[in-house]
Amino acid sequence: MRKNNKTQLAKPIVLTSCDPEVWKQVSEAKQTLIDTGSLPKYADFIPREIISMWERSIKYGIKYDDPIVVPHLSDEELSILKERKKLFIDVATEFIEEFQEILEGTDFTMSITDENGVFLSKTKNSDRIWPQLNMQIGDIWNEKYVGCTAHTTALAFNRPVQMIGPANFYKFLESNLSSAAPIFNEYGDTIGSIRLIQRNAEISKLMTHTLGWVTSVASAITSQMKLLRRDKRLKLMNSTLKATFAHVEDGYISIDEAGYIININKEAEKLLSSYKDNSKKTIYSFLQDPEPLQNSMKTGRALMEQPLCLKSDETQKIFADIEPFHGDKRKHAQGAIIRIKKKAANTRFEQSNANTNITFDRIIGKCQAIETLKDTAKLVSKTPINVLLLGESGTGKEVFAQAIHNYYYKTGPFVAINCAAIPANLIESELFGYEPGAFTGADKAGRKGKIEMANGGTLFLDEIGDMPLELQPVLLRVLEEKRVTRIGSSRSIPVDFRVISATNKPMCGSLMGKQFRQDLYYRLSVVNLEMPPLRERGSDILLLADHFIRNTCGNFNMPARVLTPETEKILTEYPWPGNVRQLQNAMMYAVTVSSEHEIHPKDLPSDIASPANTVTVTGKLDAVKGMEKDIILKTIKDLGSAKEAARQLGISRATLYRKIKES
């Protein structure tokens, strides 16, 4: 299957004329090439592609004045081909049948071939116009047997073609005017051709507009194929999602951009007891306060263990993990997967991810940067000092946080909170908890805050740079005094925990300005650990890709998949702006849409497989690196010391010098 990076048709190859002298010159030029191996000087008007096809015809040993004889597929081969090409044949035949009545009684015939020149469909008048050829479905009309024709040239160069009779290699075809165009699938692969032939054409009455005709029909078939393939893939993904939902213990709901429920499993239906009678309502209509879910959809940020109250029963509270998914531009969520579970009204969510089993040994990566980072993190983990994890989004900061936690605390809780995902008016109650009746809408029984839950373990503050400024002194006081006071209470509660923070922003210097307190920063960043971006981890990309493929295949009970060398090359060359998280999502997508045991480039998301998008992403990353360098140099200039600049920016001196050198 030939690959064409652009599915829109390229510039046509045209050799058309109503001048009999031109027909004669083309015929003589072809004969001279056959006899002598070279062309006469006057033949420079003949397109180079057609001359190339003549030369290939000679190389195949085709005798231009012999009768045309082509092989035919066996019944078994034809049956297999028809099954494999069923969608294409069905779509193309519909177009062929539309022109049956128009072409009947004329000297025009239309036919469809696959990418190898095998006839798949033809108009009924073909047998009347071509009785000598006895053309049959399954005949193999490729260039090895018929040499240069309009459709073999179109397939060879992935371009529309129109040629006068003498341009065909076989003498038998020299009285025709032929037009042909390649047909592509949604990935840009050539899957066949369409050709329209004017048999025994009178030179003075040539229908030269037929090139536009076949080009339009080819584009229409390509577009229809895309739509049907996309619909089929969506149905497959929907079926996969339903099958997955049906075999999990928790409740799962998928929603679209507007909040309407797309899929819901039985467990979720039990929790939303009135769903069956209100199946056309949005998920928001079932909730007393839909704002957290709506905010997650607007920002595209995930929420973990988000408490939600149902309208049907004020005493029934559900806890939801909300994972929005995005379109190509990532401006807002285009839907979400919601994992929900019911908890008794008098229970408290004591910890988050308490049973996590992430250890340093289970962190995938063998590059020097990761090995060094793991060794340093193990040393840091031996004491309960506070740690700040720095790095781009998706580099695995929470994974390292969990590994650090498990290295020191064997049974203590690991409590995570995303400071950027929770609305500013809720984060205070999430962190510090509240007493009964502390504010309107509060739980009647009150609630522990995340800090209390982390007592004896680890509090993981993700996206710490987005913590509201007014809460920062309160958190600082808790860290200094090791005591926390719930909202609405005057009693302080002793707590003992380690804080691991994470951010993708510089925490000091001109970028943050007055958005983050420096005294809190120094309290949180006793040790800084910098996560390397995926693009700097070399062969780790393929290690991680294989891991995510195995996990996805295992979770969905699907056959094993492997990456082709071409796909591996794309993955290792792509800059991965979304890092490990983007790679994981890409492999889940590839496993879901791939139809074979191998993952090909066409199975990757378009923004990864497309070179143009890669260039764009690379350019953006280069711009970010340039900004980093400017900030670093300005900080060095302001402070007069590289050492002090590194300290203020929260990075090591080695990292500082590397970023200056890389930019």
How does pLDDT run across 498-547, given as a tens digit for each residue? 999 999 876 654 344 567 888 898 899 899 999 999 999 998 999 999 99
Determine contact, residues 506/526, Cβ cutoff 8 Å: no
Helix (H, G, I), strand (E, B) or coil at 354: coil
Average pLDDT over residues 401-426: 83
Average pLDDT over residues 338-360: 55
DSSP state at residue 487: B
Determine contact, residues 453/350, Cβ cutoff 8 Å: yes
CA-CA-CA-CA dihedral for 233, 239, 241, 246, to nearest 10:
-170
Please report the domains of the chain, with CATH numbers, ordered by start residue.
Answer: 13-230 (3.30.450.40), 247-343 (3.30.450.20), 360-530 (3.40.50.300), 534-609 (1.10.8.60), 619-662 (1.10.10)
**pLDDT on residue 344:** 36
pLDDT band at 412 (very low <50, low <70, confident <90, very high): confident
Average pLDDT over residues 393-418: 87
For the beta sheet containing 261-264, the strands, ordered from the edge strand earlier in sequence to the opposite edge, are: 261-264, 251-256, 333-343, 313-326, 303-310
Q: Tens digit of pLDDT for each residue in 13-23? A: 999 888 889 99
**pLDDT on residue 230:** 67
**pLDDT on residue 49:** 95
**pLDDT on residue 348:** 35
More confident residue, 5 or 170: 170
Determine contact, residues 469/514, Cβ cutoff 8 Å: yes
CA dist 402 and 356 (Å) reads: 7
Main-chain phi, psi angles of 398, to 5 degrees? -70, -35
**pLDDT on residue 259:** 85
Mean pLDDT of the chain, nearest integer: 81
DSSP per position, 573-599: HS--TTHHHHHHHHHHHHHHH--SSEE
**pLDDT on residue 353:** 44
Retrieve residue 501's tokens.
Answer: 């923070």
- Among 101-110, 329-338, 570-579, name the most confident range: 570-579
Average pLDDT over residues 433-461: 81
CA 330 to chain centre: 12
Taking the CA of residue 441 as centre, how many other CA atoms within 13 Å lie in the half-sphere pointing to its CB? 12
CA dist 176 and 108 (Å) reads: 10
- Residues 108, 162, 95, CA angle at the centre, nearest 5°? 50
**pLDDT on residue 166:** 93
Determine contact, residues 7/188, Cβ cutoff 8 Å: yes
Asked whether the predicted pLDDT for residue 159 surpasses 80, the reply is yes
Other beta carbons less than 10 A from residue 318's beta carbon: 20
Helix (H, G, I), strand (E, B) or coil at 280: coil
More confident residue, 438 or 295: 295
Report how far apart, in Å, the C-alpha atoms of 386 and of each of 360, 389, 479, 650 are. 18, 10, 10, 14
Retrieve residue 391's tokens.
Answer: 């790095």
Determine contact, residues 181/193, Cβ cutoff 8 Å: yes
Determine contact, residues 429/417, Cβ cutoff 8 Å: no
CA dist 623 and 468 (Å) reads: 28
| Residues listed for the chain | 663
Contacts of 278 (CB under 8 A, 6+ apart): 285, 286
Average pLDDT over residues 306-313: 78
Retrieve residue 102's tokens.
Answer: 């128009």
Average pLDDT over residues 149-154: 94
CA 65 to chain centre: 53
Main-chain phi, psi angles of 359, to 5 degrees? -130, 170
**pLDDT on residue 511:** 40
Sequence-separated contacts (24+) of 318-324 with Cβ below 8 Å:
318/251, 318/271, 318/342, 318/343, 319/343, 319/349, 320/293, 322/292, 322/293, 322/296, 324/296, 324/297, 324/300
Average pLDDT over residues 450-473: 89
**pLDDT on residue 663:** 52
Q: Tens digit of pLDDT for each residue in 28-66? A: 999 999 999 999 989 999 999 999 999 999 999 999 899
Main-chain phi, psi angles of 591, to 5 degrees? -65, -40
Q: 72 pairs with which residues across the strands?
A: 139
CA dist 389 and 525 (Å) reads: 9
CA dist 652 and 233 (Å) reads: 48
**pLDDT on residue 339:** 84
Average pLDDT over residues 145-173: 93
* E strands, 134-264, in order: 161-164, 177-184, 190-198, 251-256, 261-264
Q: Tens digit of pLDDT for each residue in 571-580? A: 999 999 999 9
Asked which of 149-163, 346-360, 483-497 is least confident by mean pLDDT, the reply is: 346-360
Asked which of 53-62, 92-101, 192-201, 323-332 is least confident by mean pLDDT, the reply is: 323-332
DSSP state at residue 203: G
Q: 530 pairs with which residues across the strands?
A: 390
Report how far apart, in Å, the C-alpha atoms of 235 and of each of 345, 557, 593 are. 39, 18, 11
Determine contact, residues 374/363, Cβ cutoff 8 Å: yes
**pLDDT on residue 446:** 78
**pLDDT on residue 76:** 92
Asked whether the predicted pLDDT for residue 410 surpasses 70, the reply is no
DSSP per position, 637-654: HHHS-HHHHHHHHTS-HH
Asked whether the predicted pLDDT for residue 640 surpasses 90, the reply is no
Q: 562 pairs with which residues across the strands?
A: 598
Q: Which amino acid is at 41?
A: K
CA dist 352 and 460 (Å) reads: 10
CA dist 270 and 257 (Å) reads: 24
Average pLDDT over residues 419-432: 81
Could you give the residue ranges of the DSSP H alpha helices within 85-209? 86-98, 100-103, 126-129, 143-146, 150-157
- Residues 212, 217, 221, CA angle at the centre, nearest 5°? 150
First to last CA, the chain: 41
CA dist 260 and 280 (Å) reads: 7
**pLDDT on residue 86:** 87
pLDDT band at 355 (very low <50, low <70, confident <90, very high): very low
Q: Could you tell me if residue 433 is left (phi over 0), alpha (psi between -120 and 50 degrees) or otherwise beta?
A: left
Helix (H, G, I), strand (E, B) or coil at 633: helix
Other beta carbons less than 10 A from residue 36's beta carbon: 9
Retrieve residue 361's tokens.
Answer: 């040994």
Report how far apart, in Å, the C-alpha atoms of 260 and of each of 254, 308, 365 are. 9, 17, 40
